[in-house]
């Protein structure tokens, strides 16, 4: 807007130069020059202020994205720790139940033995002599009773140890429950922090939402027309090439406009200098003699017209050069668009083996396995916690975000070198079409109401499925299928 105003002002100066020369008024020319300089100064100040604000917003957005990556990592680590603590708690409960059963059985055995001993103790020695049994049986009973007492004492010691162990197990269970409650509270805090960061980021991206909505509508139409994912990815590639060509053409046009503006400003300045020179010469001729005044004014007017014609010719020539440069830049941009990677984007192949899992959990189905309906898996499935955090595994740009038949909510992230990551099974997507993503940046949440949330992950190159596991870094918990 400001550049166009300056160009119009410069052309107006070129058209007004003969009038200044004819008027031969140095004071008016000087005032006009100061006005133009003030306008240029204000325009530059406004332009610099806009650039400064844009840089501040860009820096703040970059910092928020870094904070979101860190918060998402902390949330996933808390989820993993919570799962481990819950598993340990189940093991402790099972051990407590087993020990409790053992203790009850031994207690019942001891109760029978002690009851028998108590009955014997109540009988006096004379009563044993009067019993209707042989003396040998009476002696044998006494020997057995004497041998049973140490065994009973050892059993009492074992029971005491079992009771102490049960007390320790119950204390461990209580401590484990406290740790689980503390970890769950911390996880809830991390989710709250992520939500706050997301709201701040959404506020900063308000200006880009209109373009994002338009792109999203186009892509929804593409999704409705697509017969399968291969067709959808082909259409998305065509759309990406179109965006690259438009971006290159826009950059070339802006460069040519800047060059044309500089040329127009230079021509306007030259025209002003010529007008001032003509005015000074006209003033000198007026002071010399009244007789030469008319001849001098005609000469000055002729010089001004020649200067104007020359300036206009120069401007037309420079405009033709600028248009030629624009056409050459557009052609070069179209030739390079198909082969070059997206700007400021790391090559996808550099991240092989180092990419984080999109969500923490257990791999329940692998690439290449046959599922329950007899179809070979083209990706992997990860069983996650409820409300688990989902992140981008690598740098890229959101190519599709929304419902897609057979997948529910589907997120497609476009990487360099023809790679795409497909994520399905989320209850909420926190990304928009066209948004640039960093590795580890949060993109959505798993379901809260589902019994066993499962995230489906698929990696494709040029539309063909690729096993994603060799690209992902190993988790702390064992991956199983």
- Residue 277 near residue 20, CB atoms below 8 Å: no
**Residue 377 in 3-state DSSP?**
coil
- Residue 461 sits in a domain whose CATH number is 2.70.70.10
The b-or-e profile of 300-311 (16+ CB within 10 A means b, else e) is bbebbeebbeeb
In a domain, 366, yes or no: yes
Residue 414 belongs to a domain? yes
Q: Are the C-beta atoms of residues 311 and 271 closer than 8 Å to each other?
A: yes
147 within a domain of the structure (yes/no): no
Instruction: Kindly give the confidence (pLDDT) of every residue in the chain, 481 residues in length, as a single tens digit, with 9 standing for 90 and above.
Output: 444 444 444 444 444 444 444 444 667 666 766 776 676 577 667 667 766 776 777 777 778 878 888 888 888 888 888 788 888 888 878 887 887 787 778 777 777 666 766 665 555 555 555 555 566 665 666 666 666 667 777 777 777 787 888 788 788 888 888 888 888 788 788 778 877 877 777 676 665 555 556 656 665 655 555 556 666 677 778 888 898 899 899 889 889 988 988 888 888 888 889 888 888 887 887 777 787 778 888 888 888 888 888 878 876 786 676 566 556 545 544 444 434 445 556 899 999 999 999 999 999 999 999 888 888 999 999 999 999 999 999 999 999 999 988 888 999 999 999 999 999 999 999 999 999 999 999 999 999 877 789 999 999 999 999 999 999 986 654 444 4
Task: Give the domain range for residue 453.
Answer: 348-471
Distance CA 331, CA 8 (A): 29
CA distance 469 to 458: 10
Structural domain includes residue 261: no
Contact yes or no for 384/446 (Cβ under 8 A): yes
Number of domains in the chain: 1
Residue 393 lies inside a defined structural domain of this protein = yes
Number of neighbouring beta carbons within 10 Å of residue 331: 13
Q: Please calculate the CA angle 125-130-131 and round it to the nearest 5 degrees.
A: 95
CA 70 centroid distance within chain: 11
Q: Is residue 300 in some structural domain?
A: no
- Report the predicted TM-score, pTM, of the whole model to 2 decimal places: 0.55
Residue 372, domain member (yes or no): yes
Q: Are 457 and 446 within 8 A, CB to CB?
A: no
Whether the CB-CB separation of 279 and 20 falls below 8 Å is answered with: yes
Domain for residue 420, yes or no?
A: yes
């Amino acid at each position: 807007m400001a550049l166009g105003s300056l160009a119009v002002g410069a052309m107006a100066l070129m058209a007004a130069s003969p009038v200044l020369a004819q008027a031969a008024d140095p004071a008016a020319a000087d005032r006009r020059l100061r006005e133009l300089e003030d306008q240029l100064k204000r325009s530059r100040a406004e332009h610099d202020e806009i650039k400064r604000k844009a840089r501040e917003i860009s820096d703040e957005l970059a910092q928020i994205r870094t904070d979101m990556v860190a918060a998402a990592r902390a949330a996933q680590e808390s989820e993993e720790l919570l799962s481990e603590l819950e598993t340990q708690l189940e093991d402790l409960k099972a051990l407590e139940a087993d020990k409790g059963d053992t203790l009850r059985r031994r207690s019942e055995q001891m109760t029978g033995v002690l009851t028998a001993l108590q009955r014997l103790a109540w009988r006096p020695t004379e009563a044993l002599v009067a019993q209707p049994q042989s003396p040998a049986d009476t002696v044998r009973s006494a020997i057995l009773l004497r041998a049973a007492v140490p065994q009973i004492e050892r059993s009492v010691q074992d029971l005491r140890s079992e009771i102490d162990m049960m007390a320790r197990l119950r204390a461990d269970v209580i401590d484990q429950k406290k740790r689980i409650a503390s970890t769950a509270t911390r996880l809830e805090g991390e989710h709250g922090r992520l939500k706050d960061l997301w709201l701040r980021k959404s506020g900063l991206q308000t200006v880009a939402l209109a373009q994002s909505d338009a792109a999203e509508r186009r892509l929804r139409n593409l999704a409705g027309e697509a017969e399968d994912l291969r067709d959808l990815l082909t259409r998305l590639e065509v759309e990406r090439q179109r965006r690259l060509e438009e971006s290159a053409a826009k950059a070339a046009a802006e460069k040519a406009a800047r060059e044309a503006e500089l040329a127009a400003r230079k021509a306007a300045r030259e025209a002003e200098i010529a007008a001032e020179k003509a005015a000074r010469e006209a003033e000198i001729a007026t002071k010399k003699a009244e007789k030469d005044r008319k001849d001098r004014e005609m000469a000055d007017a002729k010089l001004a017209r020649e200067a104007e014609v020359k300036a206009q010719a120069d401007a037309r020539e420079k405009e033709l050069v600028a248009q030629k440069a624009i056409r050459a830049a557009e052609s070069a941009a179209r030739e390079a668009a198909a082969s070059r990677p997206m700007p400021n984007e790391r090559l996808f192949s550099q991240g092989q083996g180092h990419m984080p899992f999109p969500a923490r959990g257990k791999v329940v189905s692998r690439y290449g396995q046959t599922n329950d309906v007899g179809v070979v898996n083209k990706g992997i499935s990860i069983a996650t916690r409820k409300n688990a955090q989902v992140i981008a595994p690598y740098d890229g740009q959101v190519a599709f975000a929304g419902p897609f038949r057979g997948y529910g909510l589907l997120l497609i992230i476009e990487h360099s070198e023809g790679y795409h990551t497909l994520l399905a099974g989320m209850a909420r997507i926190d990304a928009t079409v066209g948004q640039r993503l960093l590795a580890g940046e949060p993109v959505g949440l798993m379901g809260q109401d589902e019994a066993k949330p499962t995230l489906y992950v698929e990696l494709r190159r040029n539309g063909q499925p690729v096993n994603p596991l060799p690209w992902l870094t190993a988790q702390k918990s064992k991956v199983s299928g």
